[in-house]
Amino acid sequence: MTASFNLLDEPWIRVARLDGTPAEVSLLDLFRDAESIEGIHGEIASQDMAILRLLLAICHRAMDGPKDLDAWEEYWDKPGMLGTDAAAYLERFRDRFDLRDPEQPFFQVAGIHSASGKISGLESLIVDVPNGNPFFTTRIAEGLDSITWAEAARWLVHVHAYDPSGIRSGAVGDPQVKNGKGYPIGPGWTGQIGAVAVTGKNLERTLLLNTVVCKETEGLHEVNSEFDLAPWEQDPNGPAGASALEPTGPVSCYTWQTRRVLLHGEDNSVTGLFLGNGDKATPQNRFPVEPMTAWRFSEPQTKKLKAPVYMPRKLPTDRAFWRGLSSLIAQLSPSLRVKGAGEVTRFMPPGVVDFYQGLMMYEIIPLSGLIPLHATGIEYGAKEAVVSELVDDSLVLPAKLLDPKETRLLAVVRDAMEQTEQVAGALRNLAANLDRASGGSPDTATAARERASTAFYQVIDEEFPRWLASLAEIDPTAGREQWRALLRSEAWRQQDLLASAAPNAAFAGRGEGTGRMDVSRALVFFRAALNKIIPPPESNDAPSDEAERTVA
């Protein structure tokens, strides 16, 4: 009897149900029960995103595009319809979802091998964060000898999406192999972007909200769903990858075959794999086909290609998700003047956010309430050959922020972001001046500035998202005053902490004349800067002793 592990029937996707109960489900069970599932919760966040994108590819194909908003809205208005159509679609390709099929195994290449016949250990499949320190410490030694086929399926989807760059095994039959090795072609496509998803009240809603109607989504108008096919709808891949293959739309992006893989194992477990290079993915100007990332204007790439170029905006590891708001909302993106191209926008929002905005404008979904966004990314290390950090963040937006007519609200949020950055700069300068007053060097001043910024944002990164969500219920003018009061209060608190930590030598100071710096002078400069950024309140209830504050 031929061994089989069909992803349609076998439980392999880890989820949480709406009541919080964890479960492991098959593809058919997932779509059937999507209304009662909260979301995907596997080993790590990047695995969840990789599987979500696989599910979205299935949705696009099962919904036949969807071709227009009317078709999409029918699914939205009829809970369970998506599950029914997805199951029918999957059954048409049942044989292609068998992980162990001898001729066309799912997301693999049958019979692929290296000239030496050697296979890689499971550490090549299971991501380490950071490199050299296994993310799953329980896998040390025996923990990496074998895994179940269900877990291998999850990591197989992940490896195509996020596998780092670097030298890979050379496949027999791949003309690009040299001396038995496949040389670097870059990381998986999803690893090259900062993936953003809209989160619904259950998994069915999440899937629908992220299954965009291309012709109704900015930048995706030219996608032809008849040609945007998934790997299981095409002939199986051979051992050779493609260096110039072009993605045709969201489906091809979500299922991009970055690697050539073949899992090796026994009846109940996977013990190793062949892992070689597959189809190279390039990031320049892929916004017409990739809806799940923001895009940034690239001046170096524009100069190189002599035409405007946008690159995926990866998620920074040192900045919270909210600080990238200007890349999520078109109305908040600044404009740039570019020689030969005129005025261009600095950022383009993710297609999934643009699509949500369109659903609001057509009154398919409410213009009020909150929009939860979830962002996932991987930061690679040297030569993109190792994983150095995983980014997993969320943000809840007031839906009104996507309404271009809400000019007051947009102005309040833009001002709040700018003022917050300016206060952070004033605190960094205060820290550097206090370091200078105590006889520090340029290196110690730089370190002091960084510590002050980190301490400030540790608080603000908690407060800003809460304040932003509150704007769904309160008047923008009241919201503006609330944020200014909080920001000013936190600035004073951080000032006191910095000054209290200054050594006695800083009170005596350093330098002469206009070049002198001591604690008193540093505080005067800081207070002047703060008052310029956020003028003190003029009400009778406002504190009157700010100019006389002293440090205990």
Quick: pLDDT tens for 426-484.
999 999 999 999 999 999 999 999 999 999 999 999 999 999 999 999 999 999 999 99
CA 362 remoteness from chain centre? 27
| Bridge partners (DSSP) listed for residue 23 | 15
**In one letter, which amino acid is 474?**
I
Assigned token pair, 469 = 């969500």
The reply to whether omega before 105 is within 30° of 0 (cis) is no
Assigned token pair, 130 = 């950071």
Predicted confidence (pLDDT) per residue in 400-428, tens digit: 999 999 999 999 999 999 999 999 999 99
**207 exposed, middle or buried (CB, 10 Å; 0-12, 13-18, 19+)?**
buried
| Bridge partners (DSSP) listed for residue 373 | 198, 395
3-state secondary structure 250-298: HHHHHCCCCEEEEEEECCCCEEEEEEEECCCCCCCCCCCCCCCCCEEEC
Q: Is the pLDDT of residue 506 over 60?
A: yes
| Bridge partners (DSSP) listed for residue 391 | 377
Place of tokens 């900062």: 194
Predicted confidence (pLDDT) per residue in 116-144, tens digit: 999 999 999 998 655 556 655 455 545 67
CA distance 262 to 274: 5
Pairwise pLDDT comparison (296 vs 244), residue with the higher score: 296
Closest CA to 349 of 369, 370, 371, 367: 371
Q: How many CB atoms lie within 10 A of CB 137?
A: 8
pLDDT at 134: 60
**540 exposed, middle or buried (CB, 10 Å; 0-12, 13-18, 19+)?**
exposed
- DSSP category for residue 523: H
Q: Is the pLDDT of residue 226 over 50?
A: yes
**In one letter, which amino acid is 231?**
P
The answer for residues whose C-beta is within 8 angstroms of residue 399's C-beta and 6 or more apart is: 360, 366, 367, 368, 369, 370, 371, 472
The sheet with strand 22-25 has its strands ordered as: 22-25, 13-17, 37-40
| Bridge partners (DSSP) listed for residue 277 | 259
Share of the chain above pLDDT 70, in %: 94
C-alpha distances (whole Å) from 343 to each of 297, 308, 335, 336, 340 are 11, 11, 6, 5, 9
pLDDT at 218: 87
Q: Could you tell me how many helices (H) and strands (E) the chain has, helices first? A: 15, 15
pLDDT at 541: 44
Give the confidence band of 1 by pLDDT, cuts at 50, 70, 90: low
CA distance 533 to 510: 28
The pLDDT of 175-200, averaged and rounded, is 96
Three-state DSSP class for 505? Answer: helix
Element of type H or E holding 92: helix 81-92
pLDDT at 461: 97
Q: How many CB atoms lie within 10 A of CB 502?
A: 20
The answer for residues whose C-beta is within 8 angstroms of residue 520's C-beta and 6 or more apart is: 507
Please tell me the number of Cα atoms within 13 Å of 241 on its side-chain side. Answer: 29
CA angle, 468 then 473 then 477, to 5°? 70
Assigned token pair, 276 = 């070689």
Q: What is the pTM of this model?
A: 0.94
Place of tokens 């209830």: 541
Assigned token pair, 123 = 């550490």
pLDDT at 437: 96
Is residue 476 a contact partner of residue 408, using CB atoms and an 8 Å limit? yes
